[in-house]
Structure 1
Amino acid sequence: MQNAVEGACAEAGSRDLVVSGDGSWQKRGFSNHNGVAAVISSSDVPKVLDIERLSKRCTVCDGAKNMIINFKYYYRQAIVRNKTNLDDMVKAVWAIYKHKSSTNSDPYHEWCSSAYCGFWKALEKNENLSRVLNGSTQNPNESYHSVLWSMAPKSRSSSGTIIDFCVALSVIVYNDGYQSLLPLFESLLGSSGTFTSSIFQRLDQQRTSTEARTKSKSARNSMDSLLSNINKTHDEADDSYMPGAY
């Protein structure tokens, strides 16, 4: 999208761009939770400049509620199991906080027990130890929506993570074509393959021809409408023949 913004600014000769914005729900009806809003440049070749996935459901909030419930349970267990030893009780309570605030880069499991801590359980497994034995306008918007929802059909429910993945792929395809996915495939899989490259090239050709037909049809309709208005104006202005006048 950064390349799309730079290209739009270069084409317009200014950073004050005319854009179109529109949103779309992932599924039909009012029960859907996921939607996408896109801002697209109003240029000869529209490009997606910005994209945002929004949701009525907050998985982080739901997870936080469950975490609070778990904290209450763990806190009670720490008190019950160490009710005769204040030092062990304090240590067990702090172990809850340290365990939950730990990350892969900053682990704080020194007070945890291998009975419940997945960090220590993983370290105790032979297969894990063996690994280290010897040292990874709206028309452009609607056009973009059609690309996006072809990857995440409205008839099928999808999670927010899947929508994010489809949004990223659809922006790449819409802005630069299917062949722009080849470097991504190569970085993930090591190579893209001859058949994959051939199919992506064919998809881009089909997309280009479809757009050309659509623009040609739109141009013909505009020309027909213009000629119709011209003929209508000419007929109204032409008084060479008036019924009943002669």
Structure 2
Amino acid sequence: MDSSSSPSVNIDEADDLLDINLIIHMKSLISLMKQTLCSECNCLWDGSPSIKTRNGLYMHVEFVCSNCGCITHLYSSPQVRDGRRREINARLELGATLCGLGYHGIIKLLGALNLPPPTQQQKYSETQEVILNYVEKCQEQSMIAAVEEAIAETGGARELTVSGDGAWLTRGHTSVHGVSALCSTTKRPKFLDTTWSSKKCIKCQGSSGGMEKEMIHEMFCRSLAKYNTRYVSYVGDGDAKVHKYLVDNPPYPDIDIKKLEDTNHFAKRMLNRIMKIKRENKNKILSDGKRFSGKGRMTDGHVIKFKIYFAKAIRENKTDLNKLYQSSWAIFNHHYSTNEEPMHDWCDPKWCKYLQAESLGQSFSCSKISIPRACLDMIKPVFEELCSHTSLARVVDGGTQNANEAYHSLLWTMIPKHRYCSSKILRTGLGLSTIIFNEGYEALNKIFTSIFLSMGYYSTQCLRKLDVLRSSRTSKTKNKHLKRAKTTTTVAASTASTESDEFPYTPNEENYDSIVNDITLELNDIALELSDDDITDVYEAGGDD
């Protein structure tokens, strides 16, 4: 053993260290036996071992003394609590699901380690069924605790706002299995309910979009029976199918489900709309005789910053529609202003240099901040569409689906999209993901102690370390994205104008939680998209290496 990679332990120092599994070469075991005395003839043991029974990784080995014929039995693993299976095989299957390994992946791993193959597939599937039962019980307990926590945060009201999203398990072809989950919108989001569907099921057959809305509707309908709670508001992306289905098929007779927009998706429309206008009119000559884009015109930096400012306005004013309306139009009016016609009535003195200069009795030239009006006239319809009272009302009290995306990324580490899995494995991964996301890896202790006679020393250490590593990785990710957000914002400002007066948008710890999921600037493509690394909440549940 390499002492640099693992601290040395004295097994005599703690009883817990006896509760471990070891990989020992058979020759080493025989060498140890030859240094012991036979219990019958009291002579140094000399004989031969034979494998009496093998079931997966479990072995029953007999050591026969050549002098007296005495047989010493070695059982390599104890039985699980139900008494029918060996603990080492059940641990292998549970660990394989946590790592995203299928049956054939386990065969490869054990083969590389010169270990015997796992149990036959039928027995493997039977053990998965046992594990699934324990996982789903612990999952239910975790979700009940999450519901009560959300109720407590809302002051005891049993009417909650939830965010929902569905996902499908395979890429590039029709998926057989789909999952959907509902998450609280509390300060520390947790998952309240999950479900799955399969196109192999007669009841579940249909299009992917249709199955998603039905899964979410199912979770709404059972909230009263499960938790004595109703979901009165739903945070979703721009797809209106789910909300329409909830309205057309009301889960509660006396409540109309309110649709709340995902603020990240909504703000990103500003960028997409303006970039579409920019692409379609790049060679068009405007009313002032010049092109739409180029130096001193509408640049990529301007477009990116419009999206950033719009997202910032939504985050800071999403509880007040009038303030949100004024803050959104302040973005347009600020740049539309001229010396002859200043339009800074709705600007904030914290960032508007015109108002700052005016308060000091100084003059300020709007030419430093303005964009040619001919260019702004081209994008004004975008502001009229997105910044109307009717449109902005959709993000008032809105939330995000960042937690749902983080949950999916954790689930895919256990149920990889590139391979097929059975419904048992899917449900097990769904349960494990819920427990880990809501409570952390150490919460899996409840599953281990329910299935096995004991948790085990190294299993305890492993789960504890995974939580520490997750917290450390989250901190590093925050710092990385914070640095990138600062850098790209500076680049965007430089691209737009070297002298422009802009919103002082420097991310800090106070607004970071929203920013890290909202802004990933890909200046090469001028596409503000969330990458695989960015689709995560500040609580980084997944990301296992």
Report if TM-score (shorter chain) is over 0.5. yes
Q: Report the equivalent of 2:56.
A: none
Q: Which residue of 1 aligns with 2:436?
A: 173
Alignment partner of 1:27 is 2:170:
yes
Report the alpha carbon displacement of residue 235 of structure 1 after superposing the two structures with TM: 4.7
Match of 2:418 in 1: 155
Alignment CA distance shift 1:2-1:219 (3 Å): farther
| Cα distance change on mapping 1:223 and 1:46 into 2, 3 Å | farther
Alignment match, 1:8: 150
1:61-115: per-residue Cα shift (whole Å, max 9, x none)?
9xxxxxxxxxxxxxxxxxxxxxxxxxxxxxxxxxxxxxxxxxxxxxxxxxxxxxx
The answer on 1:189 being equivalent to 2:452 is yes
How far 1:22 sits from its partner (Å)?
A: 1.1
Determine the C-alpha separation between the residues in 2 that align with 1:148 and 1:234.
45
Q: In structure 2, do the counterparts of structure 1 residues 226 and 191 end up closer, same or farther at CA, with 3 Å as the change threshold?
A: same
TM-score by length of 2: 0.27
Where structure 1 has 5 or more consecutive residues not aligned to the other structure, the ranges are 62-136, 239-246
Letter in 2 for 1:184: I
How big is the shift at 1:11?
A: 2.2
One-letter amino acid matched to 1:23: G
SS in 1 for 2:194: strand
When structure 1 is superposed on structure 2, of 155-164 and 51-60 the one drifting more is 51-60
Counterpart CA distance in 2 for 1:43 and 1:227 is 32
How far apart are the structure 2 equivalents of 1:237 and 1:181? 53
Partner residue in 2 for 1:54: 197
CA distance in 1, matches of 2:154, 2:413: 31
Instruction: Give the alignment of 1:77-226 within 5 angstroms.
Output: 137-220=400-483
CA distance in 1, matches of 2:178, 2:474: 26
TM-score of the aligned structures, taking structure 1 as reference length: 0.57
Instruction: Tell me which amino acid in the other structure corresponds to 1:183.
Output: K
Q: How many residues align?
A: 164
Q: Partners in 2 of 1:183 and 1:37 — Cα distance? A: 24
Paired with 1:52 and 1:171, the residues of 2 have a C-alpha distance of 11
What is the CA-CA distance between 1:217 and the residue it aligns to?
Answer: 3.9
What corresponds to 1:66 in structure 2? Answer: none
For residues 6 and 53 of structure 1, do their structure 2 counterparts lie closer, same or farther at Cα, with a shift above 3 Å needed? same
Q: Which amino acid aligns with 1:53?
A: W
Partner of 1:98: none
Give the SS at the match of 2:455.
coil
SS in 2 for 1:209: helix
Alpha-carbon distance, 1:9 to partner: 2.0
Pair 142,226 (structure 1): closer, same or farther in 2 beyond 3 Å: same
Q: Report deviation, 1:36.
A: 0.7
Secondary structure (helix, strand or coil) at the match of 2:174 reads: coil
Using the aligned pairs only, state the percent identity.
39
Q: Deviations over 1:18-47 (max 9, x none)?
A: 332111111112321101111112233221
Bigger helix fraction = 1
- AA matched with 2:471: T
The one-letter code of the counterpart of 2:452 is L
TM-align CA RMSD = 3.1
Letter of the 1:181 counterpart = L
Q: Structure 1 7/191 Cα, relative in aligned 2: closer, same or farther at 3 Å?
A: same
Report the CA distance shift for 1:217/1:168 in structure 2 as closer, same or farther (over 3 A): same
Change (3 A) 1:3 1:223: farther
C-alpha distance 233-44 of structure 1, shift in aligned 2 (>3 A): farther
